[in-house]
Amino acid sequence: MSKSLDHVSEETFSALALDNIEDIYYFYSFDYDQPGYDEQLLSKHQVDGSNIYELKDLIYDYGIPEYKVILCKLENMKGCVNLEGDVSWPLIFLDPTKAENLDDLKKTYIHETAHLFSDGSDHDLMFSIANNSFLLMSGYELSVRDYDYRACKNFDISTDEAKNISKEISRLIVESHLNVETKLEIIKLCKMLTYQTYVDSDKKESSYIEYFEKRIFSYFR
């Protein structure tokens, strides 16, 4: 029998085992007065990230934040979030049919979670620190894809410099002896302690990494 979300209960299920999922356009509303997503349909079909077998260890064992997930077919994407704010609550869209393997699906969830956790940031320094921290927390290598740092140039940081900063700060956070909740709190604080705040401080410290470490970790030691 074909496996589809129509037969999924609140029990854990495998996203990769599903062979009948809706196209994302199924969730669109063509109401003239309210174009966009049909949020009633989204509410009906969304599942907790921890209900997806392939993702539950990320959430329960490694402390990766949990969001609601819609499993659907996407065009030219493995995942996305809120699609430019068209959805009124935090929501991840995942296409398990495009996942190359289990790790690819997990990394896609991590990537999209980093977007939501950094308040919808594009691929800037805040996003990259969240993404790299979540990858490290889950036992994966840091991202080397230029794509994950593409918006850093908006802050006059080169891609290579952004990679180095993000990797060092992510290691500082994840390799600290702080509990998971505190690490997540620190990642959130990156939104306020941006590279621009470092520039505006006349760069009194020798590097942004030193600036970040002094101001963030001093509160948690």
Give, for all 221 residues of the chain, the pLDDT tens digit.
334 444 444 689 999 999 889 999 999 887 767 678 889 999 999 999 999 999 999 999 999 999 999 999 999 999 999 755 578 899 999 999 999 999 999 999 999 999 999 887 788 888 999 999 999 999 999 999 999 988 877 667 788 888 998 999 999 999 988 899 999 999 988 877 777 777 777 666 668 888 888 877 666 66
pLDDT per position as a tens digit, 15-39: 999 988 999 999 988 776 767 888 9
Which among 46, 50, 115 is positioned nearest to 80, based on CA atoms? 115
Q: Are residues 185 and 111 in the same domain?
A: no
Q: Which two tokens stand for residue 130?
A: 């969240």
Q: Are residues 140 and 195 in the same domain?
A: yes
Q: Are residues 72 and 165 in the same domain?
A: no
Q: Are residues 100 and 135 in the same domain?
A: no
Q: Which two tokens stand for residue 38?
A: 């049909």
Beta-carbon count within 10 A of 155 CB:
14
pTM of the predicted model as reported, rounded to 2 decimal places: 0.89
Number of domains within the chain: 2
| Residue 201 exposure: Cα atoms within 13 Å on the Cβ side | 16
Which domain range does residue 206 map to? 121-221
Domain's final residue, options 117, 141, 171: 117
Q: Are residues 112 and 137 in the same domain?
A: no
What gap in Å lies between CA 4 and CA 18, rounded to an integer? 6
Q: Are residues 7 and 64 in the same domain?
A: yes
Strand 28-29 and strand 47-48: pairing? unpaired
Domain's final residue, options 85, 117, 149: 117
What gap in Å lies between CA 120 and CA 40, rounded to an integer? 23
